[in-house]
Amino acid sequence: MRDKTRIAVLVSGGGTNLQALIDAEKNGIIKNGTIVLVISNKQGAYALTRAANAGIPTATFVKKECGGQEGMEKAIRRALSEYKVDLIVLAGFLSILSADFTRDYDRRIVNVHPSLIPSFCGEGFYGLRVHEAALAKGVKVTGATVHFVNEIPDGGEIILQKAVKILPKDTPESLQKRVMRLAEWKILPAAVELVSEQIRYKEN
């Protein structure tokens, strides 16, 4: 059997989902994979501090500094190659990857989205916007989805979903926190373990 599946986590902000993955690996929930690299597209993202605290190497590639999307993706590819990455996890990565990029890593990129896809997803739906839309629509149940990434935003095959009830007094902020705690932080590590195991055994 090959060694553990080598994982890179792509981030843009505070890194709460990254922390859930770090903790899951430490606690043995993720046992077929190991995080070998954290990449940010924002300078000073707190997720980079979380990675450093866990002893995980980091890299930052800002679109403007790389001369645009293509330059940023080339830099990301080089880093993925250098660290021999098998699986890419988008954990609050607020840049849509090109069709060329996603095609080259088919079924090797997973993303967590804070709704039950196909509701409140696609271009423009991220962060608090998702929860604002759910509350505005008056739905009674929301949740989170982990899916494979393809050229369509939030359009890839679903891996895991978990539902969360909406409470009468919910605000976008309170709903966001509860969806993270009850859904995202549970199904993201579980899905990463599932895919890591598939990759690890498929390549023997």
- Residues belonging to the active site: 113
For 84, counting Cβ atoms within 10 Å of its Cβ (0-12 exposed, 13-18 middle, 19+ buried), the class is exposed
Phi first, then psi, for residue 158 (nearest 5°) are -75, 135
User: 5: helix, coil or strand?
Assistant: strand
Do residues 154 and 147 lie in contact, with contact meaning Cβ atoms separated by under 8 Å? yes
CB burial string 26-56: b at 16+ within 10 A, e below? eeeebebbebbbbbbbbeebbbbebbeebeb
Give which of 94, 178, 91, 166 is closest to 133, Cα–Cα.
Answer: 166
Measure the CA–CA gap between 76 and 70, rounded to whole angstroms: 10
Do residues 93 and 10 lie in contact, with contact meaning Cβ atoms separated by under 8 Å? yes
